[in-house]
Amino acid sequence: MSEKPLTRTQQRILDGAYLIEVENPKALLFQHTVLCQVALPYRNPGSSVQTWDRRSGAVSLSIRSGRIMDPRTDQWRDAGIPYGVKARLILLFMNAEAIRNKSPVVELGKTFRRFLARLELDPNGRNTRGVKDQLLRLAAAQVSLAVAYSKNRSRQVQTQIVGGLDLWSEQDGDRSITWPTTVQLSTDYFAGLLEHGVPLDQRAIFNLRHNCRALDVYAWLSQRLCRVKQPVLIPWHDLQLQFGDGDPHSFRQAFRKALQLALSQYPKAQVTPEERGLRVFESPPPVMNQRQQLRLVQALEQGKRA
């Protein structure tokens, strides 16, 4: 019996995996290390949900829906909690632009449209309203971050991803929509991004852009595996707190599928699913940050002198 032909998505993922293995990254995106560990909702939690909580080990994240002043109505309205693939892609773009230009002010417009085009998201087509809606949600969101150092001690930070934005309305067919033309990352977030931004291969993001959980797993592995000193078993329960919903059995199936997709773009990652959880091993990151590159150069220089 002959095998079924690959779908376009399957072929794209396989082709992308090969290119990442044999080529150096041509373009980089960045994610804040905290958002590599705890992520946004996969689906719209609904207008009645005002907060979103996620946990990864000692790190806990709470995102609260913010409010925006709509210039069309001159009234405040709830923006909603950011969710889905589009919110993640927008955030990666803003992070990359801020790091590349060493400025918390990110200009949207033509640059943003070109970015969406590279990801095959037409900013002038059916994606327009969804993209701009997620941009507003990200811009208005209130973020609380807590790190537990022990049972009796923790630290909590209140911040925003975006500290300021310029809004304007434009026509989209017969309807007008509001969206930011310039966003300014908050001081805390921008400082943390410069210090703890995790570089990601844009081609991997492109190849995984249809699967939220796979994007999150890829980002998590990218920042996690290079810090593993000895093999660690992460229980399924902890992984579900970080990546999942639903019952444990369905989560394991969904996570294994997302993991397989993520590993296709990160072939050097060393992880082993087991009965009790996922065992992770020290692995080189898919893209080295400046500190890792410096350590590699220093190690090579020491080797030459030895």
Reported as a single tens digit per residue, the pLDDT across 14-73 is: 666 555 554 544 478 999 998 999 889 999 998 889 999 988 888 888 999 998 877 777
Beta bridge partners of 175: 172
In this predicted structure, the answer to whether residue 177 has a pLDDT above a threshold of 80 is no
| Structural domain includes residue 3 | no
The answer as to whether 198 is a domain residue is yes
Does residue 21 belong to any structural domain of this protein? yes
Read off the pLDDT of residues 70-113 as tens digits, 9 standing for 90 and up. 777 788 888 899 999 999 998 998 999 899 889 999 887 666 67
Domain count, the chain: 1
Domain-located, residue 273: yes
Residue 79 burial by Cβ neighbours in a 10 Å radius (0-12, 13-18, 19+) = buried
Question: Is 1 part of any domain?
Answer: no
In a domain, 34, yes or no: yes
Per-residue pLDDT at 289: 58
In sequence order, the 6+-apart residues with CB closer than 8 A to the CB of 160 are 66, 141, 142, 143, 186, 189
Which residues touch 129 (CB under 8 Å, ≥6 apart)?
Answer: 172, 177
Dihedral of the alpha carbons of 207, 212, 218, 220, in degrees to the nearest 10: 160
Q: Give the tens place of pLDDT for each residue, 230-247.
A: 999 999 999 998 998 778
**209 in Cβ contact with 233 (< 8 Å):** no
Quote the domain boundaries for residue 203.
8-301
Residue 60 lies in a domain: yes
Q: Is residue 306 part of a domain?
A: no
